[in-house]
Copies of this chain bind each other. A is one copy, B any other.
């Protein structure tokens, strides 16, 4: 950490708002640097300028956390189902740490080393094996001296607890974030119970990320907070939701939606939706507020603009954004200047422009989770026969 910067717990203990960044895999997929399917972060080594630029945009938008671009950077994931990479896991993790640190140094941001769920767990590997996989990423984070650690995107609280246990051994502050909604984890453990187990395992910051839209995630974190408090424990809370509206999700989240991952455009939140999210999070007592898949820099800026009164300042990128649309005062057309006001944007119900499309989908809901044979992972590519079986099964639904 740069001298003079306050650590993550110091900030949260003081009641400060900490703004996270947005999800890198989806943003970089659209920019051409991440492949949907494997979703692995080799771009940290391959195209550092693209990753650096995205870090910088989030920093400029108001983020206080530069999370290392190490999502799915565990060795078992990097080699899953025929993914061919020319970089080792260690190389990718190291490059990601360097990029995060470089940009963090340009502003008031901390570096968070991130790990997430592993294919090994889905494939029913033992606690020891899963922990060993996670440990390899941590070795890099310690070497690169990240400021704190985040175990995120866990669907099963059992694996999340294992991750926290591994992370705690480093002595760094530990945040734990599950990709669950109000219905709880994939085995039906409630958010409240998940949070209690994570707190007992030593996580100092607890919350949810990904899989659901902002309001659903805030609801889940509220349930976590209530559970932790009822158990007489203490924690800080974080939320890093999708930037997609998902009122139609079941417990598996947006992975189940027919639109995942290449047809989600109509669901993207506007900046005004983000204002509501930021306010709702703050009111719920959540102080670490960021984003996940779908977040673009302007979404984080909207969070920072909504919480500017609490933080005492606007983010750098607001030089290019009039709050609540005020920049439109400079538009050439009079009817657009007429939209330069908060009540216009707050009340707008934006149309989809898609009259042949519905407003909600029926999720796939195959109902398989860890332990189910369909979820066993493999290093070789999915075969044509395996695909045919899947295609047929899907059509018969």
Interface positions of A (Cβ within 8 A of B)? 29-38, 49-50, 53, 56-57, 60-61, 80-83, 119, 122, 213, 244-248, 255-272, 296-298, 301, 316-317, 319-322, 325-341, 344-345, 348-362, 364, 366, 368, 374-375, 377, 381-382, 386-387, 390-391, 393-394
Contacts and interface: CB of A to CB of B under 8 A. Distances in A.
B270 A348 contact: no
B353 A357 contact: no
Which one of A320, A322, A328 has the highest number of Cβ atoms from chain B below 10 Å of its Cβ?
A: A320
Contacts of A261: 328, 336
Nearest to A366: B335
Contacts of A335: 256, 364, 366, 390, 394
Given A296-B31, A297-B31, A377-B332, A266 B81 contact: no
Given A248-B353, A353-B359, 5 more contacts: A29-B298, A248-B351, A337-B387, A338-B390, A355-B360
Contacts of A321: 32, 35-36
A37 B324 CA distance: 12
Contacts of A361: 350-351, 356
Contacts of A339: 260, 262, 394
Given A351-B267, A359-B358, A332 B32 contact: no
A330 B81 contact: yes
8 contacts: A29-B298, A35-B319, A37-B327, A49-B53, A82-B329, A260-B336, A330-B381, A351-B357
Nearest to A344: B394
B32 A61 contact: yes
A330 B82 contact: yes
B352 A357 contact: yes
A326 to B, nearest CB: 8
Contacts of A364: 335
Contacts of A329: 37, 81-82, 381-382, 387
Given A37-B330, A362-B356, A375-B332, A351 B32 contact: no
Contacts of A244: 353
Contacts of A362: 356
Given A83-B330, A338-B394, A351 B31 contact: no
Contact of A353 (B53, B246, B320): B246
Which residue, of A61, A256, A335, has the highest number of chain B Cβ atoms within 10 A?
A: A335
